[in-house]
A and B are shown apart, each in its own frame.
Chain A
Amino acid sequence: MEQSYLIDLKQVVKRFPMGKGSFTALKGLDLQFEAGEFAGLIGPSGSGKTTLLNIIGTLDLPSEGGGTVLGHPIEHLKASEAALLRKERIGFIFQSYNLLQVHTVFENVEFPLLLLGMPSEERRKKVMEALDWVGLADRHRSRPSQLSGGECQRVAIARAMVKQPSLVLADEPTANLDAANSHHVLKTMQQLNEAFQTTFLFATHDEKVISYLKRKIYLMDGQLVKDERV
């Protein structure tokens, strides 16, 4: 019997229309991830990291090839199925935090739970718990504008983690942070990975991030060049 992976990509190709022809951003990638990994896609700008992360995150479809993400075949995933999958099992962390500015820290973290239709008592408990993990429980009434960049990114981590997803995707999560904050944020994610066995998948070219990774996948021009485990 074939081993079942958390993520199992087979010959994934992604082409973007460009002018009359098209541009191939991913040139047939085979990649597998298991539950609990702390892995990163590493490569120079334009190498296809974000493109691959979007496909894994079911935000985009492959042009060719396929495979499964969290047990769901991604070739012809319907938009509603993809949305449900994201809602229940995938968390996202962005370079620019993307917190809703008009909502409090608490409300930002609460949002994914609202989408899940969780009752308010339970939401409250989970949100405060998640804010505890990132050390910001005392700031739950603040607005994002009152927080530092590092704190914002930790709120974003709490938001990604609050529903205890199977997979967290983080695209350049430290690009806007200074060294001290980067390390703080990375340690937080490392602890969560260890505590909950949540799979973290990064896209980065930041040395600080790379130094924390347990698996380093090097991309170049849409192709896999090296896949090393630490």
Chain B
Amino acid sequence: MIRFLGKGLLRDAGRSRMPVMVVAIGVALSVFMHAYVHGLMQDSIEMNARMRYGHVKVCTRSFAENAAQMPADLSLLDVRALKQQLTAHHPNLQWSDRIQFAGLMDVPGMMGETRAQGPVIGMAVDFFSTHSVEGERLNVQAALTEGRLPQQAGEMLLSADFSEKLGVQIGDTLMFMGSTQFGGLAYANFVLIGCVDFGVEVLDRGMMLADLSDVRIAMDMEDAATEIVGFFEGGQYNDAAARRMQESFAADFEVVAGDPYAPVLLRLKDQDDMGQLIDISGAMGLLITFIFLLAMSLVLWNAGLLGGIRRYGEFGLRLAMGETKGHVYRSLQVESLLIGLLGSLIGTVLGLLFAWWMQEKGLNLGDSMQNASMMLPTVIRARITPVDFYIGFIPGVFATLIGSLLSGLGIFKRNTAQLFKELET
């Protein structure tokens, strides 16, 4: 009997291949959609983390409270030791010290007079160490519109718009002016060796990038930094882990309560609007996925429904031959379960493959994103998460099954003679 039904299932394309295909397509789209939306959200979050906030950030409590002013006088001290400690406690994160600073960029004329000047926001990262991944992390190479990365002391990058506004060219020497860690006047000459364009307005307006060592000298910050940013291995923010680190931080690092210079650990979510962005991203991802799943479920339900109704004739015949209604109904459900499982399996694999391709290759939106004022990535990538292994699969199976459960109810609702009549037409 089972073999008989199996043969029928395999030979009747309308009963097997078609519904499997419909299920597979629906499931594949859902999986891909979820991975895509998740990737999009995650990429913008990660971009913010890499450029500015880290997955976690350690700075002094006072600096954290006044982060917008980038007050150098509230910097962390003994950074080398602290970084070692952090690495020892949390070896699963990569730790990098950075200095965020603000000041003026001055373009001197022939006679030493000021030819042009503008406020600048600076970031000093480790470009020079051979093992440093900071340049890569900020994706500076890709952002270069001309020139090259800093390779030796006294070199800097400026955002392309800013250097144009200042009327400077590669090779020009500019003077940075700001304040030192101790409140004194800081000034240093930098050679412009490259221009960057991150495609993000907040970064491209007036930004300088230089090596830590140069900025340390200029700002009198030997073994100091405004922050140490930490990044989870695997490159994804993990709020639960960050929260655990935060909770044990005071104990781990013997922080003296009430000390304004004591280090604190900030999660990505703690900083600026990132908490909102992360929460909204999560909600958006859920919403989009939910709407998509709902649509897919309706389609599959309908397909299951039609699949059942299409076969009322066959059911009538089988009932006439002496099969019970329950048996016919159950065999229909087993079939639809098989179809749902197979279709969902194929769909999940296809969806994951497609998502994986989007994850590896990415979709370059390039210039269309040029004017965004939010930090949004220009290359959109899908991102596969464990959820994708079941987010399409489960509704794929259940929607199909529920569709056929409902359509099969017709077997019970109608009396046998009526099913039988449908077979005559």
Contact = CB atoms under 8 A, between A and B. Distances in A.
A75 interface: no
A147 interface: no
Task: Give the residue among B8, B319, B417 with the most A Cβ atoms within 10 A.
Answer: B417
A97 to B, nearest CB: 10
Contact of B423 (A80, A83, A94, A103): A94
A54 to B, nearest CB: 4
Contacts of B423: 94, 96, 98
A57 B4 contact: no
A83 B322 contact: yes
A173 interface: no
Contacts of B320: 57, 59, 86, 92
Contact of A92 (B8, B11, B321): B321
B416 A59 contact: yes
B413 interface: no
Interface stretch (A65-73, A108-116, A125-133, A177-185): A108-116
B12 interface: yes
Nearest to A120: B3
A228 B397 CA distance: 59
Interface residues of A, number: 30
B8 A103 contact: yes
Interface residues on B, range: 20 to 34
A83 B317 CA distance: 12
B314 A100 contact: yes
Interface in A56-109: 57, 59-60, 79-80, 82-88, 90, 92, 94-96, 98, 100-103, 107
B417 A88 contact: no
B316 to A, nearest CB: 8
Contacts of B323: 83, 87, 115
A83 B319 contact: yes
A94 B321 CA distance: 12
Contacts of B8: 100, 102-103
Contacts of B231: none
Given A60-B416, A84-B322, A107 B317 contact: no
Interface string B2-14: 0010011001100
Interface in B371-425: 415-417, 420, 423-424
A114 B1 contact: yes
A12 B423 CA distance: 25
B313 interface: yes
B324 interface: yes
Nearest to B8: A102
A80 B416 CA distance: 12
B325 interface: yes
A50 B129 CA distance: 93
Contacts of A171: 424
A150 B11 CA distance: 24
Nearest to A99: B317
A100 B322 CA distance: 16
B6 to A, nearest CB: 11
The 4 closest A-B pairs by CB, nearest first: A87-B322, A60-B417, A86-B322, A102-B11
Interface of A: 54, 57, 59-60, 79-80, 82-88, 90, 92, 94-96, 98, 100-103, 107, 110-112, 114-115, 171
29 contacts: A59-B320, A59-B417, A79-B416, A83-B319, A83-B324, A83-B325, A85-B322, A86-B321, A87-B321, A87-B323, A94-B423, A94-B424, A96-B423, A98-B313, A98-B317, A98-B423, A100-B317, A101-B12, A102-B11, A102-B12, A103-B7, A103-B8, A107-B4, A107-B7, A111-B4, A112-B321, A112-B322, A115-B321, A115-B323
